[in-house]
Amino acid sequence: MIGFGMRTVAALLALAAVTVDALFNPILPGFNPDPAFLRVGSDYFIATSTFEVFPGHPIYHSTNLVDWELVGHALNRPAQLSLLGTPGNGGLWAPGLRYHDGIFYLISTSRHVYTSELSLFPRSFYVTTDDIFSNNWSDPIYFDSLGYDPDLFWDDNGDVYSTWCGINDPIDKIYGIYQNTIDIATGDSLTPAQLIFSGTLPNNSSARPEGPKLYNFNGTYYLLIAEGGTGATHRATIQRGPSPSGPWENNPKNPLVYNGEDPSLAVQSTGHADILQAEDGSFWGTLLGTRPQGGNTNHAQLGRETFLYPVTWEDGWPIFNGGRPITEHLVDVLEDRPPVTDFELDFGDVEGEDLEGAWYFVRTPYKKFYSLTERKGYLRVKGNAYAIGDRDSAALVLRKQTAYNQTFETTLEFSPLSNTTEAGITIWRQDSMHDEIGISGDADGSGKRYIVTRKLEKNDQVGPWALTPANNTKATVDRVELETDDEPVKLRIVGSSTSYTFGYAEGEGEWVDVLSIDSALLSLFSDFKGTLFGMYNTGRGFPTLAPADFRYWKQYS
């Protein structure tokens, strides 16, 4: 993201002295849930969750809290993160981000295995680096705890506390905030785990106290948590006490944020907050929220995004955004400005052999399946036997959709010699939620080419623990014969609040739109991610030799 010029609003400087004077929420638009927030000196960092996509946990950096740039991913080596056959919404859940004694800590849980037979939480872990800009983090160091959303906290006496969301009644699914002290070198437990808090809501399975963040401000300990589940009743609440384990005094003004109180607000599902003190003493927070479209709170194809807001203090309690809901336009606080969401890359301009930055794959790739050098000027995607939607790793290169009104476009050169071979572009959210426009061939190897569209019906039964691969039997597939067997073909997916429209243009020809779908098909709420655009090549069950050569990647509003 390239920075805009700063516009100063003198009257607001008292509140926004970190030179934050213009802002448009979400600050990290698109699939960026569960933000963890950290300051080291005058550098700010945010990490978000990634579930079954690889690499895991993007790290964003800013010096003004408004302009954020991706600096790497904490889990970027297959040896750190083996998402092999991991089901949708398994993988990496909410991260924590901490700094102590010159070392950065990214704390997380990876649900490599996550099915109805095995929904047990695996042990959490942390990875470390002394140079967060190096994109070189350690291998995971595992805790002993059973749970998720781990936090690390260093007390003044040197004790290191691990705090997480654990399950205290697996039958009734009642969760609570657990804690123990650990040996930070090994992750080993030093004291027994104890339940330190059950949340502010009635103690049942809807309460879901999670995402604990522990702080010490001026000698008082604060426990900030998320409650109510990540959906419509999501909220943030805080407690304070004389020790890292409580006993806790409830903030009389809880919840700190709960947009769900007013379902007409453009931003919903606000919660999972993290706060910090800026260099100048002012306080800021991040949280996740959604921007539902088409008047339906469950229709948010971009998923959960990261929002920023000012924090002030009253009677020793933090107040988020002056006690008002978190919205896209914090006009009372900051001057508004448009977010930077366009992205354009000519693959001929890439130096080096690797795609670097905000590129993602579904699950850990078994091996590299693309090349920027075999045919200079192109991203060559080499297909394998797996198709998008298989519980494996299809040859699929992804980037997040970053605006609701956004078009994804490329030019593809592809000459398939069978009707299983297919390459093209997709709007993807999980194995059972993706729609494509691509090019395929003829069963007799005639060289004839067809535009193929594939529309999947939403399967509401497929939750986060989906056992089966994409149900391609439920796809509606259409084929239109192309005029040539060798001309480059432009492909595009035009996204709007409520639809995606798939089109192509052969050679220098005009655009032809061949399919339009309701974007609600890409917004099943129980999918924790958000949409990504992708380029793919597949043999749909068979190895394939035909390479797919893409000339550029363009996302624009």
Query: Hey, which residues are catalytic here?
Result: 34, 210
Residues touching ligand NAG: how many (CB under 6 A)? 27
Among 5, 41, 102, 202, binds ligand NAG (CB under 6 A): 202
Among 8, 42, 82, 136, binds ligand NAG (CB under 6 A): 136
Closest approach of ligand NAG to the CB of residue 81, in Å: 16
C-alpha 537/C-alpha 548 separation (Å) is 6
Is residue 381 within 8 A of residue 546, CB to CB? The reply is no
The answer to the question of residue 100 lying near ligand NAG (CB under 6 A) is no
28 binds ligand NAG, rule: CB under 6 A: no
- Among 471, 498, 516, 526, which residue sits at the site for ligand NAG (rule: CB under 6 A)? 471
Report the half-sphere exposure of 360 (CA within 13 A, side-chain side): 29
> Residue 84's CB: how many other CB atoms inside 10 A?
15
Residue type for 414, please? Answer: F
Q: Compute CA distances 62 → 66, 69, 73, 274, whole Å.
A: 7, 6, 15, 16
Which of 454, 412, 451 is closest to 548 using CA atoms?
412
Cα–Cα–Cα angle for 53, 59, 60, nearest 5°?
120
User: DSSP per residue over 528-552, as a string?
Assistant: -S--EEEEEEE-TTS-----EEE-E
Out of 133, 313, 542, 556, the only residue in the binding site for ligand NAG (CB under 6 A) is 313
Radius of gyration of the chain (CA): 24
* Closer by beta carbon to ligand NAG, 26 or else 187: 26
Which lies closer to ligand NAG via its Cβ, residue 187 or residue 380? 187
> Residue 349: helix, strand or coil by DSSP?
helix
Binding mask 428-467 for ligand NAG (x = CB under 6 A): ---------------x---------------x--x-----
Q: Which one, 326 or 379, has the nearer CB to ligand NAG?
A: 326
Q: Per the structure block, which two tokens stand in for 384?
A: 């394998």
Q: Which amino acid, residue 40?
A: V
Evaluate the omega torsion of the peptide bond into residue 318 and state whether it is cis, within 30 degrees of 0. no
Is residue 386 a contact residue for ligand NAG (CB under 6 A)? no
Which window, 32-40, 86-94, 195-203, 507-515, contacts ligand NAG (CB under 6 A)? 195-203
498 lines the binding site for ligand NAG (CB under 6 A): no
Closest CB to ligand NAG among 136 and 446? 136
| Distance between CA atoms of residues 459 and 482, nearest Å | 32
Q: Which residue is nearest to ligand NAG (CB)?
A: 443
- Give the Cα separation of 299 and 33 in Å (integer): 16
Site string for ligand NAG, 266-295 (x = CB under 6 A): ---------------x--------------
Position among 99, 142, 217, 450 found at the interface with ligand NAG (CB under 6 A): 217
Q: 82, 116, 194, 205: which one contacts ligand NAG (CB under 6 A)? A: 205
Distance from C-alpha of 157 to C-alpha of 264, rounded to nearest angstrom: 47
Does residue 297 touch ligand NAG according to CB under 6 A? no
Q: Which of residues 396-425 bind ligand NAG (CB under 6 A)?
A: 404-405, 419-420
How near is the Cβ of 266 to ligand NAG at its closest, in Å? 9
- Reading the block at residue 406, the tokens are 């956004």
Does residue 198 touch ligand NAG according to CB under 6 A?
A: yes
CA distance 161 to 83: 28
Residue from 11, 158, 264, 473 binding ligand NAG (CB under 6 A): 473
Among 169, 188, 354, 460, binds ligand NAG (CB under 6 A): 169
Contacts of 281 (CB under 8 A, 6+ apart): 17
CA 454 from chain centre, in angstroms, equals 25
Q: Which residue type occupies 469?
A: P
Length of the chain: 557
The answer to whether residue 157 forms part of the interface with ligand NAG (CB under 6 A) is no
Kindly indicate which of the ranges 47-55, 197-205, 386-394, 406-414 contains the residues binding ligand NAG, using the contact rule CB under 6 A.
197-205
Output the smallest distance, CB 211 to ligand NAG, in A: 18
In whole angstroms, the minimum distance from the beta carbon of 547 to ligand NAG comes to 20
Shortest Cβ 495–ligand NAG spacing (Å): 9
DSSP string, 148-207: EEEEEEE-TTS-EEEEEEEEEETTTTEEEEEEEEE-TTT--BSS--EEEE--SS-SSTTT
**Is the CB of 245 or the CB of 380 nearer to ligand NAG?**
245
Taking CB under 6 A as the binding criterion, the range among 156-164, 177-185, 201-209, 370-378 that sits at the site for ligand NAG is 201-209
DSSP 8-state class, residue 461: T
Nearest-approach distance from CB 487 to ligand NAG, in angstroms: 22
Q: Determine which residue in the list 218, 252, 352, 483 makes contact with ligand NAG, applying CB under 6 A.
A: 218
Which one of 63, 76, 119, 168 is in contact with ligand NAG (CB under 6 A)?
168
Binding segment for ligand NAG (CB under 6 A), chosen from 145-153, 158-166, 198-206, 304-312, is 198-206
What values do phi and psi take at 406, rounded to 5?
Answer: -145, 135
Gap between the Cα atoms of 290 and 267, Å rounded: 6
DSSP three-state, residue 277: strand
Token duo for residue 302:
């971009």
* Residue span binding ligand NAG (CB under 6 A) among the ranges 43-51, 150-158, 203-211, 362-370: 203-211
The residues of the shown chain that bind ligand NAG, judged by CB under 6 A, are: 136, 168-169, 174, 198, 202-206, 217-218, 281, 313, 404-405, 419-420, 443, 459, 462, 468, 471, 473-474, 496-497
